[in-house]
A and B are shown apart, each in its own frame.
Chain A
Amino acid sequence: MLMEPSDETLARAASAGDGAAFAALLARHYDRLFALAFRLTGARAEAEDLTQDICAALPAKLARFRGEARVSTWLYRVAVNAAHDRRRRQATRVKAAEGWGDWEVSRQAAMEEDALRGDWLTHAMRRLPDDLRDTLALVLDEATHAEAAEVLGVSEGTISWRVSEAKKRLRAMRKEEEDA
């Protein structure tokens, strides 16, 4: 019986032009990518769009995959970068829309919240600063601190600090709400 080829084997084959290998690799990781996208964005619609962005761009990125990192780490990184991209573009749009863009944004947020009512953690995570949110999203996705550090390009110590900082903030938010 043949063993399932490893991620790395598939990735190398895919980057050499093997379409079937690429399909298998992506199918294997799609659900995880989507879950991470959800944690990074905190909203289903956003997560779907982000996942689509990633899927669309992945073939070109794969061409540059050299196998220095594990495939999962590499995918994390692609996802986090794509999320940053989206945020930046959205920030630009908001800025371009001037003052009244604010209304749209808060309204959009309200809509999303509505769709996810009751999911405290998702909301709370969205209120974290981007770096803390990214870190937490990765760590909650069972990335090791070392892996998260590699993905985000910071030291492991920074990851540990961010995780505890994120937890501190979540706790404070919870308290604030309970007191309120």
Chain B
Amino acid sequence: MTSKDDDDDLFDLDALRAAMKGATPAPDPAKRDADLRLAQENFAVLQGSRPDARLTSDREPRGLLRGMRQMLNTLTGRTGLGLTTALVACGIFILSPMGEDLMQRAPGLGPQEPAPGPVSQPDQMPEPMADSLPAPEAEMQAAPRAEETLPLSGPDDRLRTGPADGTVVLGEMAEMAEEAPAFVESGDLNAPAPLQRLAAPTPSAGIAPGGEAGYIAAEPPLVLPGPDTETFANAEDNPLRIAAEEPVSTFSIDVDTASWSVIRSSILGGYLPPAEAVRIEEMINYFPYDYAAPEPGEAPFRPTISVFETPWNEGTELVHIALQGEMPALADRPPLNLVFLIDTSGSMADADKLPLLKQSFRLMLAELRPEDEVAIVEYAGSAGVALPPTAAGERSTVLAALDGLGAGGSTNGQGGLEQAYALAAEMAEDGEVSRVLLATDGDFNVGLSDPSALEDYIADKRETGIYLSVLGFGRGNLDDATMQALAQNGNGQAAYIDTLSEARKVLVDQLTGALFPIAGDVKVQVEWNPAEVAEYRLIGYETRALAREDFANDRVDAGELGAGHSVTAIYEVTPVGSPARLTEDLRYAADSPQADAAHDGELGFLRLRWKEPGEDVSQLMETPIALPEGAARPGTEAAFAAAIAGFGQLLKDSPYLGSWGYDEAIALATESRGDDPFGYRNEALQLMRLAQSLAD
């Protein structure tokens, strides 16, 4: 088998073979045993589950499978953990001399010659960087091949208790099986009996891989360790709609701000955020606005509508709808019961996770009153009460408990959640506000059989008056989509905390807003007047869309408005007759709608529904949206919101902006910066400039 060109000793095949043999490590005996056991178990499962597999319907295993897949994703995602922390390091490295060095080596993506990588020389790093990097051994421990993180390997694992466990494995196998169709030849009449039974259930056995594969193959494969496990909740951009065909637009308000922070940490890290991380409504709602507050005796919030020319399109108008929540007198706020549910899994060890979280809570503690109560539940491999309900006045007790938290172990989010809710229920008294604050890096759905069951559980608890807010820390395995889902189901806020100043904003400045709901299930419905509006488009709120009939259905959940919160929604509308119209009239449709004399001068009609906290029946507020008089100029607040909407669309590469770009967005934001007492808008400007340089 030696090749003819054995001119060079080193590259003689035998020499190579010998070299390779020397280089190949022996398998780790423990790993070997585990693998063999795993194979054996799967073998047994396969034997045992064959008759079942035929009977199981197509649908049933899916929920379980999906749940387990998700679990496995997060499990395997733990590898990402070391990688993740590195992300922060990478971000820093770009800016550092060593980073440049790394950058020059990195672009090939593939393995390079042994570069003096950042991890190999932690001692040479400047102090702050060394802080943000866990020791290499810690990373290795976190890798999924550590036995306890492999759900399929242990017989006592709770995942393996039902027959369904076989299906996970089979799903994987099916997926792999597709890769080897050569082994699926079906002509062999001597095949053992079980195989013939297998082939039967799949009508297309000749084409599809075998029986079990037939019904599981549709499920995507387990995702094995990848470089990153961040997932983001987002839907397709809201499309342009034609007012004559679909005059009604319905959505739920959204006071989450997580997207802005994710965008910020991306841009500061030197890369543009992925488009799916951009949720424009969350960007807009991140900023405090000086909207008119409701008068006493009015509804708990007040809508302000302004219509002005679209900055990025001369032929269209922006309809800016702002809801400002009332700010109850802080002096007579009810006592608060806060249960901090803190993720202390191994992945939380990074400087921007648990340590930042501790600092954040310390800030918040200072703002609480002596009669408020706090409790801390930590969850990792198992959940436990780290601090039983304690008056906020006992600062030293609370701080000691907080300091005692350490990261380690894997995550059991649901166990922790159950304990936290139980504690909150215990603490609750009439007239008090109870809230669970879940702080996590997003990796919290290990150990539950089904994510939708978790959502249901939280939604159920919501009915008891205990709300859930989710605070995201760190990047990399942040499961943004799950965070969103949980906070939305728990009526809380989802915020992403990447810096101490963000912690201050979320936890301290807006303590009241996040903690005191003033209106529940706030839904917005706009009916456009087809005589005035040809086309419209809601900017953002893709994940918050509601069906038209959901508006009046009080059983359909929607967003909460907290004390002092404001919510902004922006529509871009194209007036009838505008040259900017993108669609044509239909030739065979009825004549274009006639202006209804009674509703002359109305662009549309705004309906709002909300529930008073604790009520089951919603209230309705209606107000027409008047046509603008002449070329209206936006107020500062609306103009700034429009600038941020423009920025979000630039990040999403939206097709509706035409030639309008970062220069224009920055100019608009600069002139509408206003007072900006906390510097949030200045920060936005900086980010826009950075994004511009990254986009060029």
A-binding segment of B108-116, B544-552, B576-584, B631-639: B108-116
Counting chain B CB atoms within 10 Å of each CB, which of A57, A84, A114, A139 scores highest? A57
**A97–B83 alpha-carbon span in the complex (Å):** 13
Determine if B296 is an interface residue (Cβ-Cβ < 8 Å): no
CA distance A31 to B179 in the complex (A): 23
Q: Which residue of B lies closest to A81 (CB)?
A: B179
Contact A106 B109 (CB under 8 A): yes
| A57–B11 touching, CB < 8 Å | no
> Secondary structure of the B side of the interface?
helix
Q: Are B23 and A56 in contact (CB under 8 A)?
A: no
Cβ contact of A60, chosen from B27, B213, B227, cutoff 8 A: B213
Provide the residues of chain B in CB contact with A44, threshold 8 Å.
25
Q: Given A55-B39, A164-B3, do A104 and B83 touch, yes or no (CB 8 Å)?
A: yes
Per a CB cutoff under 8 Å, which of B3, B106, B173, B223 touches A106? B106
Q: Which of B31, B139, B194 contacts A63 (CB 8 A)?
A: B194
Q: Which A-chain residue is minimally distant from B139 (CB atoms)?
A: A111
CB distance from A103 to the nearest CB of B (A): 4
A113 to B118, alpha carbons, bound, how many Å?
12
> B274 — which chain A residues lie within 8 A by C-beta?
97-98
Which one, A97, A144, A177, contacts B230 given CB within 8 A? A97
Could you tell me the dominant secondary structure of chain A's interface residues?
A: helix
B interface residue count range (under 10 / 10 to 19 / 20 to 34 / 35 or more): 35 or more
Identify which of residues 26-58 in chain A touch chain B, using a CB-to-CB cut-off of 8 Å: 26-27, 30-31, 34-35, 38-39, 42, 44-45, 48-49, 51-53, 55-58
Residues of A within 8 A of B135 (CB): none
Contact B145 A121 (CB under 8 A): no
B113–A123 CB distance below 8 A: yes
Compute how far the CA of A81 lies from the CA of B173 in the bound complex, rounded to whole angstroms: 12
How many angstroms between the C-alpha atoms of A108 and B82 in the bound complex? Answer: 9
Nearest neighbor of B179 in chain A, beta-carbon distance:
A81
B175 within 8 A of A: yes
Q: Are the C-beta atoms of B226 and A93 separated by less than 8 Å? A: yes
Interface size class on chain A is: 35 or more
- Are B183 and A65 closer than 8 Å at their CB atoms? yes
Say yes or no: is B599 at the interface (Cβ < 8 Å to chain A).
no
Is the CB of A105 closer than 8 A to any CB of chain B? yes
The proximity string for A residues 81-96 relative to B, scoring 1 for CB distances below 8 Å and 0 otherwise, is 1101110011011101
For B109, the chain A residues whose CB sits under 8 A away are 94, 102, 105-106, 109
- Contact between B39 and A59, CB atoms less than 8 A apart: yes
Q: Which of A65, A103, A164 contacts B90 (CB 8 A)?
A: A103
Q: Does B269 contact A (CB under 8 A)?
A: yes
The residue of chain A having its C-beta at the shortest distance from the C-beta of B17 within the complex is A140
Is B177 on the interface with A (CB-CB < 8 A)? yes
- In the docked arrangement, what's the CA distance between A35 and B44, Å? 26
Question: Are B32 and A30 within 8 A (Cβ)?
Answer: yes
**CB of B271 within 8 Å of the partner chain:** yes
Asked whether A60 lies within 8 Å of B32 as measured between CB atoms, the reply is no
Q: Find A85's partner among B3, B86, B175, B230 (CB 8 Å cutoff).
A: B175
A90 to B, closest residue via Cβ: B226
Kindly specify which of B185-193, B374-382, B452-460 makes contact with the partner chain: B185-193
Docked CA distance A56–B177 (Å): 12
CA distance A28 to B669 in the complex (A): 69
Report the minimum CB–CB distance from A35 to chain B (whole Å): 5
Given contacts A26-B36, A60-B42, A94-B226, contact A111 B117 (CB under 8 A): yes
Taking the complex as formed, is A157 at the interface, i.e. its CB lies under 8 A from any CB of chain B? no
Quick check: A66 and B191 within 8 Å, CB to CB?
A: yes
Contact B35 A55 (CB under 8 A): yes
Q: Across the interface, do B11 and A167 meet the contact criterion of CB distance under 8 Å?
A: yes
Identify which of B24, B185, B230 contacts A38 (C-beta below 8 A).
B24
In the complex, chain A residues 109-143 whose Cβ is within 8 Å of any chain B Cβ: 109-114, 116-117, 119, 121-123, 126-127, 136, 139-140, 142
A9 to chain B, nearest CB (A): 14
User: Mask for B192-214, Cβ within 8 A of A = 1, else 0?
Assistant: 11110010000000000110110
A105 neighbours in B (Cβ, 8 Å): 109, 227
Do A55 and B227 form a contact, CB below 8 Å, given A63-B198, A108-B83? no
The 3 A-B pairs of least Cβ separation, nearest first, read A93-B226, A110-B117, A104-B227
Task: Spell out B's residues near A (CB within 8 Å).
Answer: 1, 3, 5, 8, 10-11, 13, 16-17, 19-20, 23-28, 31-32, 34-36, 38-40, 42-47, 80, 82-84, 86-87, 89-90, 102, 105-115, 117-120, 136, 139, 143-145, 150, 152, 169-170, 172-177, 179-180, 182-185, 188, 191-195, 198, 209-210, 212-213, 221, 223-228, 230, 266, 269, 271-272, 274
Q: List 22 A-B residue pairs with CB atoms under 8 Å apart, sorted by A's residue number.
A: A17-B47, A26-B39, A39-B24, A48-B145, A51-B27, A51-B31, A52-B31, A55-B36, A55-B39, A55-B42, A57-B169, A63-B210, A77-B183, A93-B223, A96-B228, A100-B266, A100-B269, A101-B227, A105-B109, A107-B89, A163-B13, A167-B11
With A64-B210, A93-B228, A140-B20 already in contact, 15 other A-B pairs whose C-beta atoms are closer than 8 Å: A15-B195, A17-B47, A63-B195, A63-B210, A98-B271, A100-B228, A100-B269, A100-B271, A104-B86, A104-B90, A109-B109, A123-B113, A163-B13, A167-B11, A171-B10
Interface on A for B, CB 8 Å cutoff?
A: 14-17, 19, 22-23, 26-27, 30-31, 34-35, 38-39, 42, 44-45, 48-49, 51-53, 55-66, 68, 74, 77-78, 81-82, 84-86, 89-90, 92-94, 96-114, 116-117, 119, 121-123, 126-127, 136, 139-140, 142, 144-145, 153, 160, 163-164, 167, 170-171, 174, 177
